[in-house]
Every structure is written in structure tokens, then in C-alpha cells.
Amino acid sequence: MLVQQAHAQVVGFSQLQDKLTQSFSINGKAASTLNNYLRCLAHLALHHKQSPEKLSVEEIQDYLYFCQKQHKTPSESFFKHTIFGLRAAYKVMGMEAKRVALPQIKQDQKLPTVLSQQEVKRLLKAPKYLKHRLILATLYDCGLRSYELCNLKLSDVDFERQTVFIPKKKGKVDRYVPLSEHLARGLKKYIATENPQTYLFNSQKTDSGSPRGLTTNGIRWVIKENRSKIGSNKKITAHMLRHSFATHLLEYGVDIVSLKELLGHAHIEMTLTYLHVANLPTCAKFSPLDKLYS
């Protein structure tokens, strides 16, 4: 809604949006990130009644101060997305001087919340319908992001090789993840009875009758309907199942490099976070010299 308002009321904003959209498409960046940036840039444009690239450094600073006062810290998401959106806008417009003038964002070091193995088992049993149980099970078993599950096609699931193919998006790396025998049995039964089209999990068809994949809102609804049934105070989300997948694999002995590949992380630093969450056994310390001559 804000983006449409900026289109109608602010001269030049539509051209900025077109350039950002083109840049994100060429570089394979997520559409959700682009939408967050555009929403924040539209808010800025409507505030000053001018397209962001035409504003002076002082006007930008005044607006950022206004945003900061509306939120608790400079790391709050709206403030953060405004900064990142401006950096992206200045980059595509070739305005490096203004990019340098923007404040640095301190990265949050918050550790992810994970479910215990028993909590995962209770959650997977909670839904009444097989399709809903399989949506949750696939998120956990394959360590998927929500949009990856939404885009998953029937052709991506290889029952003979017991693998699931995840096309590249974030991290820019295609990957295969193992398909458990338990999940495979459930998916075969679901496919035989429900006959999904094109996508592994369908939502309502388009107006033209074409099949459409599950939506992230659909996933959120399934989780919201069932999280109260498992006796946990944790606010369960789809991404929490991905965090739990990673943490549990570390606890089962999977090495950090293999885990990085399974998660599709671009950088190992992202995967190392789970070392601070997993309950890993500690071993007695010893001298390598003693081992050398023993």
C-alpha cells in the first residue's frame, strides 16, 4: 500500500523502484528483501514528498533520527531496512558519497530459539490432517525456509535416491538434502490420496485454474493452529523448525561443514551460530605431545 502511494504521490519513485527491481533480479536477491526495502523507502519518500535519491544528507539524517525515536534501538527492523534500502538505492543510482554517509548497523547477536526433540515429536503429531502434518515434517526433516517449502515441486522429490532438491535462492547454491524414510512414506500416501499438481503442497488454484504452491501465510496458519497443543511456552515459527533441524543434527554428530551445505548457507559464520545452541559433549583436555609418543 505504501509503495503504491509513493508511486502516485512522489515524482521519480517509480523509476527508483524499477532500477532496484532490475538490480535484485540480476543479482538473484530475494524478492522479500526487495519488498521490505521498497516499503521503507516509500515511507521515506512520502515523509519528505521527494524520491529518496533526491534528498540531501541532512534530510536523510533528520528522517533517520525520526525513525530511531519511533523504535527502541537502531537495530529495530524498520530502521535497519531503511538504512539497507538506502544503501541499495544509492548503489544503483551511482551515489557512492551518500552511501558512505549512512550510519553503520550493529548486527544483533541473538541466539536462535530451538525446540527439543520431544517438542518436535509432539508438534508433528498435533495436526488433524495428514497434509498439515507433512508440511511441518518437511520443514523440519529438510531444514527448509518457508519460501523453499512453498516453491517445492513434485519433481524435486526423488523417492528412489531419497533426496530432495532445493533450487538456489538465498546463498545462491543449489542443494540436495536427505529424505527420511518416515517422511517418504507419508508423502507417498499423501500424493496418492490428494493428487497435488506441479507443487508438492498446493494452495487454491489461480483464477485461470493453474496450480499454485502453498503460501507462507498458509504455513503460518498451520503452525498457529497447532502450537498451542504441545504444551510449550515457546512462540513456534516455521524458521524455528529450521533452527531445530540444524541444532539436532549437530547434537547427533554432523560436522559443521556438512551442516552448512544442508542449510544452504553462503558463509560458514552463519552456521557457526548453532555451535552456541547445541548441547555438545565435552571431552577431557590433553596434550598432543603425549598422544604423539603414546
| Tens digit of each residue's pLDDT (9 = 90 or more) over 184-234 | 999 999 999 999 999 999 987 666 778 888 999 999 999 999 999 999 999
Given 39, 122, 170, 212, the catalytic residue: 170
What pLDDT is attached to residue 222? Answer: 96
Q: Do the Cβ atoms of 195 and 211 come closer than 8 Å?
A: no
Give the CA dihedral 159, 164, 165, 166, nearest 10 degrees.
Answer: 160
Confidence of residue 2 (pLDDT cuts 50, 70, 90): confident
Rg (CA), the chain: 23
| Tens digit of each residue's pLDDT (9 = 90 or more) over 15-34 | 999 999 998 888 877 788 88
**β-pairing, 157-158 with 175-178?**
unpaired
Measuring CA to CA, which residue among 78, 75, 72 is closest to residue 63?
A: 78
List phi, psi (to 5°) of 176. Answer: -110, 140
Measuring CA to CA, which residue among 84, 41, 93 is closest to residue 63?
A: 41
Catalytic site includes residue 170? yes
Q: Report which of residues 109 and 4 the model is more confident about.
A: 4
The pTM score is 0.71
Q: Do the Cβ atoms of 183 and 137 come closer than 8 Å?
A: yes
Low-confidence winner among 65-69, 75-79, 189-193, 265-269 (lowest mean pLDDT): 75-79
Q: Report which of residues 119 and 29 the model is more confident about.
A: 119
CA dist., res. 134 & res. 222, Å (int): 11
- CATH: 1.25.40.420, 3.40.50.2000, 2.60.40.1180, 1.10.443.10. Which one for 117-276? 1.10.443.10
Q: What is the CATH code of the structural domain delimited by 2-101?
A: 1.10.150
DSSP class of residue 110 equals: P
Mean pLDDT of the chain: 88
What pLDDT is attached to residue 94? Answer: 84
The answer on pLDDT for 291 being more than 70 is yes
Residue 268 falls in which region: left (phi positive, over 0), alpha (psi -120 to 50) or beta: alpha
Q: Do the Cβ atoms of 24 and 33 come closer than 8 Å?
A: yes
- Joined grid coordinates for residue 275: 555451535
Catalytic site includes residue 265? yes
For the chain, which residues make up each domain, given as ranges?
A: 2-101, 117-276
Percentage helix, strand, coil, to 5, in the chain?
Answer: 60, 5, 35
CA–CA distances in Å: residue 43 to residues 36, 78, 98: 11, 10, 19
What pLDDT is attached to residue 71? Answer: 62
**Can you list the pairs that 13-16 forms with residues at least 24 positions away whose Cβ atoms lie under 8 Å?**
13/41, 13/42, 13/45, 13/51, 15/51, 16/41, 16/51, 16/52, 16/53, 16/89, 16/92, 16/93
Confidence of residue 254 (pLDDT cuts 50, 70, 90): very high
- Joined grid coordinates for residue 226: 497447532
Given 80, 81, 169, 242, the catalytic residue: 242
Given 145, 169, 227, 260, the catalytic residue: 145
List the 163-166 sheet strands across, edge first: 157-158, 163-166, 175-178
Given 175, 227, 243, 265, the catalytic residue: 265
